[in-house]
Chains A and B, each alone.
Chain A
Amino acid sequence: MRLKGFSVPVKRITLFSGHYGSGKTNIAVNYALKIKENGANCRIVDLDIVNPYFRTKDSAKRLADAGVETVFPAYANSNVDLPALPKEIYGAVADRNTFAVLDIGGDDRGALALGRYAPDILAENDYEMVFVANFYRPLTRNAKDALSVMREIEAAGGIPFTAIVNNSNVGEETAAEDLTATFKIAEELSRLSGLPVVAVTAEEKVAQKTNGAFPLVLERKNFDI
């Protein structure tokens, strides 16, 4: 579907996955907010039941204030590390009138939960399955290693990737040059996988110094350490 603010059609369901720590949760949150900003209703679903920290729920207030509907596991961000999926996820997958952004777990084990919904998503066939790559993460330093993570996630989740987002960063120390230095690796991954690099993303201050990287507003904790 065409949405203003987007240069390409937005699929009804967008799924973000990739090696954990690559930034998929931050991208999912910012992407859902952008859909809503451009006038469409959107739900965001936390399907990452492996990692009990750094959850979509960290951004709960920002999402709720913007009017993005949120679907989180009942005990997310609590001491009860219970990997249970709420029934509302089916609603997000089945309701074809509302956009859905799905935040998938960060490796083969994390992506396993996706398999439950894969047949419905594939049947509707209006989805983008995005591989978020950070080539500064130790287990995805090159295209070959990133490709094997990609294949592991596909095998576990049951949905093939359709696009790549380059979110290479070294946290607070990221410079714009660090991002551009990874373009070649992203291209190599694109060649190996046959998938397009659809976006480059960066924290907003870094993104300002680039030629068109999608700016991410990151969730900050209460104080710097």
Chain B
Amino acid sequence: MTDKVLMKGNEAIAEAAIAAGCRHYFGYPITPQTEVAAYMSKRMPKIGGTFLQAESEISAINMVYGVAGAGFRVMTSSSSPGISLKQEGISYIAGADLPALIVNVQRGGPGLGGIQPSQSDYFQATKGGGHGDYHLLVLAPASVQEMADLTVKAFDLADKYRMPVMLLADGTMGQMMEPVSLPEPSEVKTEKPWAVTGTKGVRKHNIINSLYLNPEQLEKTNVERFEKYKLIEETETAYEEFMTDDAEVVVVAFGIAARVSKNAVRAAREKGIKAGLIRPITLWPFPKKPLLKAAEKAKAFISVELSMGQMIEDVELAIKCSRPVYLCNRSGGMIPTPEQVLSAIEKAKGEN
């Protein structure tokens, strides 16, 4: 009997979070992410955890802020419009240097948009989203198994660097069902001497805050935080390369778009076109180095996205605009087909 279970991506996130030691979930339902909350509402009471459906997304993210300050593993999840509502709180969490997991199972936008899958929150996730100088570590799963594995990794990274981490999925990843090997329950224990756990009368107060009355102090804190970001860029960048060794046309895609693209790359190879795929697993930090290296042999790049073209800017920056970069996309909840990507590859090959 297989040891795997059949899970929706949203359920895999929830179960993996529990395995990673998360016992505090605060959220508000929104399609296509609702199963994360629904699953937590069933599981948390059975294991002594907290599931709380807040009165709003703003409320939920501030509960996350509070629990993170107390040193516990904590998460929230939502979909695009709900994540927009959470941005102020996310900025506060980043400004207070707190670890937390924020899951965005993206849907089509802008506005209320629709409930079908999308990747059009790329800018919001990778370029700030909220106000001020900060970054989120952004992880992009491309299978239900990765929904589970990257959730565990997200908690570890959040604790390691004392910063909020975002799992950026899409409606397809959230809803599709695949066999999963669930992670073993474990928690990389991180000492949190900064947490507000009570002084017991023996130590000085810890203060969780993002307000600085002194601008010199705020600047110093920001500079130090960006030194940490630099270290993360050097050490935590993750990506998958597929047939890039001799690739003349390199497709760059993450999440569901990467799965579609992989089929197209295989089909292109069958037609004798040297195509390859680079799949960013961390969207911030963006895998600039492998792209720049691929540009040495590649004649053209294609950014495949479920948006009007957002990651394409990072692709161009990564290769320093040394090669043409084409956009192959669908928007508003639509998904590119392997045939669409294949013809983009053929066109790029023909023109370069």
Contacts and interface: CB of A to CB of B under 8 A. Distances in A.
Interface string A196-225: 000000000000000000000000001111
Contacts of B182: 138
B4 to A, nearest CB: 5
A139 B5 CA distance: 10
Contacts of B214: none
A53 B2 CA distance: 27
Contacts, number: 69
B263 A223 contact: yes
Contacts of B8: 21
Contacts of A171: 6, 177-179
A178 B4 CA distance: 10
B15 interface: yes
A173 B7 CA distance: 13
Interface residues of B, number: 33
B1 A178 contact: yes
A141 interface: yes
A79 B2 CA distance: 37
Contacts of B337: 222-223
Given A53-B32, A222-B337, A138 B5 contact: yes
Contacts of A54: 175
Interface in B311-344: 333, 337-338
Interface in B65-114: 108, 113-114
Contacts of B113: 79
Contacts of A177: 1
The CB with the most chain A CB atoms within 10 A, among B2, B176, B337, is that of B2
The CB with the most chain A CB atoms within 10 A, among B5, B39, B42, B116, is that of B5
A101 B39 CA distance: 28
A1 to B, nearest CB: 35
Interface of B: 1-2, 4-8, 11, 15, 31-32, 38-39, 42, 108, 113-116, 172, 175-179, 182, 256, 259-260, 263, 333, 337-338
List 10 tightest A-B contacts by C-beta distance, closest first: A181-B1, A79-B114, A170-B179, A225-B259, A136-B6, A173-B179, A170-B6, A138-B5, A53-B175, A170-B4
Given A223-B337, A223-B338, 11 more contacts: A21-B6, A79-B113, A79-B333, A81-B115, A138-B15, A141-B5, A170-B6, A175-B2, A225-B172, A225-B256, A225-B260
22 contacts: A79-B108, A79-B113, A79-B115, A79-B116, A79-B333, A81-B115, A136-B2, A136-B4, A137-B5, A139-B39, A169-B6, A170-B5, A170-B6, A170-B179, A171-B177, A171-B179, A173-B2, A173-B179, A177-B1, A178-B1, A223-B338, A224-B263
